[in-house]
Each structure stands twice: as structure tokens, then as C-alpha cells.
Structure 1
């Protein structure tokens, strides 16, 4: 039964629609908005496939997000939407017992760990410890495929888990590595122009691969000489090539994983596109209905896409990945963008059509069958 909005929601929705209507009439942009229920009980759509026959688990790692009971409501949604899929919450030993008990009553398995003494650059060590503990629990319980996510993120797509399993079957890895299945980067954070920048926040894949992905050594917090200690200054001042190689958690985990499966990174954008083609896949925000409470509650938008020009922050979507996989976009086309490594985060990138003749040659030499 559809829930009737309360008075505040009705008034806010009316005001929002009127405001957007004025923007559409007077402004230079088309604007839409997207409402997602906060409570699992208000989400009535369910997948047509309730059980895909493959044991799966969802691991939520990090501190319990108590704003709007976000983590608790996420557990409730996943248990109702994917009843055959186990949900593991991997958090810290100092979490209040009442929060853990509520999560357990909602159907989550609870794993707690001690925080590492050194959180590492961008808190990567905190992620490694809690992610590993949750994935180990999922594997011990028989999970063959695992989605590792965060306690402050939610993926609303009704058929999410069946879709991910279908993608894993449809797109096996390119071969030549010690990898059971592709690693899928979900939602946001898969960047086209930053080497090996597969999101580290929400991933899906074979349980053995996802455990290997988060089995990187803990990282010391020391940065190279000349790096600012303030993270915002780091994004503004450090070239993205150096940021990727020496600081970013996403690239550290992806590069470490590639080395462990027998495909050590060459630290070029061309090799990065090749790694995405052969070892990874992107399931973007549109396909997953991804919501990051920390991120989208701040930006108030589902996408950071700039229509004015491409920037170093440009996301790689499924369509970009599919062109790589099909051979219609040759990783060699990335050579024209290697100088982007000297740019800073969110700076403009040269237009692809003017700078990438190799991409056009790929279309000419690999016609669609």
C-alpha cells in the first residue's frame, strides 16, 4: 500500500516543484529531483527474482550511521528485498550495545573489531580492518559472491543482486590473472582520467576476489615530501598522478589488488583503461540507484557530471566501460590524456574528439557484428 506523505513532506514537495518550475521557465538549465524513502517500510517494490541460487552476502563496514537510523533502515531494506542474501555489519568494538542489538534484531550478523592505531591516509586502514573482518565472516558463512559497501551508503535498485550476478556471468574477466570473477565498482567514484581509480566504497565480486581486494597491507600516514597535510589542500594542489600513486585509497587498493593477481600496474592511464577492460567493471549510479548520505546530502545531486567540459573528476560509466570491453575504445587512446596526470582534481581535460584519434580508429577497425 502506498504511504501517504505527511503534511511537511506535502508542503515541501509543493514548494520544491514550484521552485523547479520557475527554474525551468526562467533559467538556463533543465532540473529534476529524486525522492528516496528514508524508511525501509515505505519501499514496496521487490525484485522479480527472489533467489538466484548462488549464496551471496552484503557487508556493510564502518561506524553505525545513526542519522535517520540510516544503517538500521538499510539493513531492513536489504533483508526485505534480498531475503536469501545474508547481511553482515562490520563495525567497531566501542559501538554502543543498543545499536548492535537493534541491527541484529533487524537480521544483520554483527562483527566488531578494534580500530588500528594509525588510520592511514584517507582512513584507508580503518576501511581495510573493518572490510576484511566482514568479508571473512561472509565467506565463513558460505557466501560465494559478496557486495562490500559502507554503513552510510544505500543502493535502492530493486533487482540489484540478481543484476550483479547476471553481470558477473555475462562478463568474465579477461584472463591471464589469478581472479575468479570481475570486480565491479558500484555507484560513484570510478574515475576515467585518474589511473586505477575504481571506487573503494561499494564493490561486488567473487568472495575470494573481494577478500583479496581488501587484503592490502596497512598503510602508514606519512606522505611524500611537499604534500600538504590538509586533505582539501591536497586535492587543490597535488597533481592527480601523484595523488593517485601516493595518497588516494581507491588507487592504492586497486593497484595492490592488480599486483596480487599477477597484473602489476604500469601507472599509466593506458594501462589503467586496460585493467578496467580486463579485470574490472563499472555499474554506475543510474543502474544501482546509489545513495551516499554523506555525499549526496552535501552536493544535493546524484551526479557531479559537468556538461560544460570534461574534468579530471569525470566518472567512468557503464557505457564507457562497455566501449573498452567491446574494443570500440582502445586503451591506446588514453595516451593522448597522459598529461592529465599533471592536472589537479576537477581541472578541465582536453575534449576527447580533438585529442583521441586512436578512439576513432578503433571504431573503424572493429565494426559491430
Structure 2
């Protein structure tokens, strides 16, 4: 089922009211979407055993095993969680249910609006332009090819960046017709073997496709690289030169003392304020040696789920230092490689952001995430939305704030800050 048809099919089923609608997730995403798009749900599912048997909004919460009692053809499942990808995989292991994330489902018009913006640039009859990459800058697009989405993203970059390298790094099991469709618009396609162990949150897949894409850019002669994804678009005009100008705007002395060429530029989404050592890995720009060092990572072979009781009980400090999230895993490993003295404090984390990064707002990049258009949603008060904005980062850079006495990360549980 294609990107668009799955959304249309679920919308149709909701309108017909012929199937049971089951919700998965009971946190902030559920509250947000039930507030703006209330649905009559048959029941809720959650991986958290402590919630089983509870009622939320007069709806009973069950374990995932409840789905074993359902017929696939009778059910529509809507996932209310920032872990939607992992949960959808879990659902598919139970049965071939019709399932989609609430974010993608209810933000259909927003997705359509961004597609129109892309089409206004590439036009309806755009087939191919002659490319003359100078090999100084590279745009790396990594991840699984999203049908009907990635092709539009690639065409957009091809149209605007004819002189810069464009590299797609994806999987060798990608449908041949999708690869053939993309080939005319990129300079290199890297087809990676799928790791035997995907890792928690698919982090090993991300490590593999990103690192091998960086190697391809380096081999082609790129000095600077913009790392993005197959399901995101950056609409800012002349973005490569703009990113380089940003790096030149702020002192890179501390970064250079740690063996880096300069700072690394990241976007605000998932650059967490209270999760220590948690910069975004969705958009990264910098000297190719710095970005390569960041993504030179061993696969994480640990077997755990963030929804397990043991992990949910960890404090913010424990969670981050034990590299619970993919962002933590990458960042803590990177800091060890450059001999950063990891103190495990909020102050130290903010100093890392201050001295080695530049954080720019999503809007500055023209950033849009097709998979999760409303995560984070800046208009909602949930603590999961506490990211580092550019204005906050500048307060760090100019030493107006330092993280002392703000919050005790040894007392607060990380799950209190998450959906």
C-alpha cells in the first residue's frame, strides 16, 4: 500500500463506521489528537503493563495481546505515539492490520500543502536536468525510500542544486522500479545490506546508511555535507551556502581544540533541552571529516525496549548516560572519541551544545517531516516538546544561561518528559 493510499483507506474506513477503531498509545500524542480529532475508539492498547485495565476517557486500556482476539479485516488501528514506527512494526508482527500513525493520518492536509510547495518548484513535467556537481558540497539523503515521497524530495534537490553532489543511501532490497525512478536525479546511489540486528529504534540501520553515504560523498571529493532523510524536506533556498555561513558566524575554537574542523549545525527537533547529550540526528551539516567522525559508530547490539519497566524507571541522567535513545547513543559515543569530559550534568550537556554545535530552528531550514508532521508540535504544552531553539541556543552561546539549578536530572524520570 502506497504512502497516500494507506491514509485514504483509513480515512474511508473511519467515515464508513463499519470497522472497529482501536487506538494504540495513551500519552501526550493521544491527548493531543483526541482533542483536535476526537474519535469513538473501541478500546486502547499500551505496552505499559501498569496501564492495563485502566480507563482513560471511559475507554479501557488493554495489552497488545488483545489484538489476537480480533479479525484483521474488522479493525483499524491508529497509533498515538512518537514511537509510531516501532509500534506499527509490532502490530504487523501480530497481524496484517490496517494501521497508521495519528500524526500522518490527521495531518494529511499539511502534508498535501508541502507537496504543493515542492511541485511549485519542480513543476509538473520535470524529468531531468544536466548535473555538473563540483564535489565541494554534498546532500546526503539516507533511509528507506518512501514511495511517492522520496522521489519528490530528490527532484526538488536536483532542480535547485545542479552543481552539488546528491547522494541517496538506502537498502539493497528496495524495489528496483523505485531505484530506477530516482537514478536520473542523483549522482550516486548507495545500496546497503540490512544489518542483521536493526537495533533499538532502528539505530543500526541509520548508522549503516548514513556512514556509507558519507563515505560515498568523501570519495567523490565533498568537503562539506548536509545529512538529511528520505522522509524529510529542507525548503530553504541556497541552503548549502547558508549553512556554511552559519558555521563561520560563530567561533569554532573549542571544537578545534577537540580535534574537529568546526562546529556541527543541527535542527531543533529532538535536540532536547533536558535529555542530556541529545542533539538531533535528523539534519546535520558540517565539514565531512566531522560528520564522518560523528557517524563512525559500532552497531548497538543491546536488546531492550524503551517501554520496559526497567527503562521507564530510569532518571534523565541514567537514561542519557546509558544511551537509551538513538540520539544519546550516537552523541555519547562521539563525545568519548573527542575526549570530552562527560560529567553527566545538565550544565555539561548545555556546554556541549554551546561549544560544539549550532542549533537552528526547523523553520530556518524549511524543515518538514512527512512521517510525523506535528512532532514536535510547538503549540502544545507537553514536556516532550522541550527542544533547544535557536534563541535558547544563543543564550547559551553568549553565556546568559548555563543549566545550573534548572532541574535535577537525577530525580526526574525520563518518561515524564516523553510521549
Shorter-chain TM-score bucket reads 0.7 to 0.9
SS in 2 for 1:75: helix
Q: Deviations over 1:228-251 (max 9, x none)?
A: x36497886543333323320101
Change (3 A) 1:43 1:73: same
Residue 42 in structure 1 maps to residue 100 in structure 2: no
Contact 1:269 1:335 in 2 (8 A): no
Give the superposition deviation at 1:142: 1.0
The correspondence for 2:224, drawn from 107, 122, 145, is 145
Q: Deviations over 1:305-343 (max 9, x none)?
A: 3565x72540101111111111222x2x33431337623
| Distance of 1:270 and 1:98 partners within structure 2 | 50
Residue 104 in structure 1 maps to residue 180 in structure 2: no
Change (3 A) 1:234 1:149: farther
The correspondence for 2:157, drawn from 55, 75, 78, is 78
Contact 1:131 1:214 in 2 (8 A): yes
Q: Deviations over 1:70-110 (max 9, x none)?
A: 11111111111222221100011111222112111123410
Q: How many residues align?
A: 298
TM-score w.r.t. structure 2 length? Answer: 0.65
The correspondence for 1:164, drawn from 232, 238, 243, is 243
| Distance of 2:308 and 2:161 partners within structure 1 | 38
- Counterpart of 1:344 in structure 2 is 414
| Distance of 1:86 and 1:191 partners within structure 2 | 31
Contact 1:56 1:143 in 2 (8 A): yes
Residue 275 in structure 1 maps to residue 352 in structure 2: yes
Contact 1:194 1:341 in 2 (8 A): no
Q: Deviations over 1:237-276 (max 9, x none)?
A: 5433333233201011111112212214222111000001
Structure 2 unaligned segments of length 5 or more: list them.
1-35, 37-108, 124-131
- Counterpart of 1:248 in structure 2 is 325
Change (3 A) 1:103 1:270: same
Correspondence 1:61-210 to 2 at 5 A: 61-66=142-147, 69-175=148-254, 176-210=257-291
Change (3 A) 1:264 1:312: farther
Change (3 A) 1:209 1:341: farther
- Counterpart of 1:304 in structure 2 is 377
Contact 1:191 1:197 in 2 (8 A): yes
Change (3 A) 1:232 1:170: farther
| Distance of 1:234 and 1:42 partners within structure 2 | 49
| Distance of 1:282 and 1:185 partners within structure 2 | 5
Contact 2:139 2:166 in 1 (8 A): yes
- Counterpart of 1:7 in structure 2 is none
Correspondence 1:215-226 to 2 at 5 A: 215-223=296-304
Contact 2:136 2:222 in 1 (8 A): yes
SS in 2 for 1:148: strand
Residue 58 in structure 1 maps to residue 139 in structure 2: yes
| Distance of 1:135 and 1:167 partners within structure 2 | 21
SS in 1 for 2:286: strand
- Counterpart of 1:260 in structure 2 is 337
Give the superposition deviation at 1:152: 0.8
SS in 2 for 1:339: coil
SS in 2 for 1:104: helix
| Distance of 2:240 and 2:334 partners within structure 1 | 23
Structure 1 unaligned segments of length 5 or more: list them.
1-22, 24-32, 46-50, 224-228, 349-369
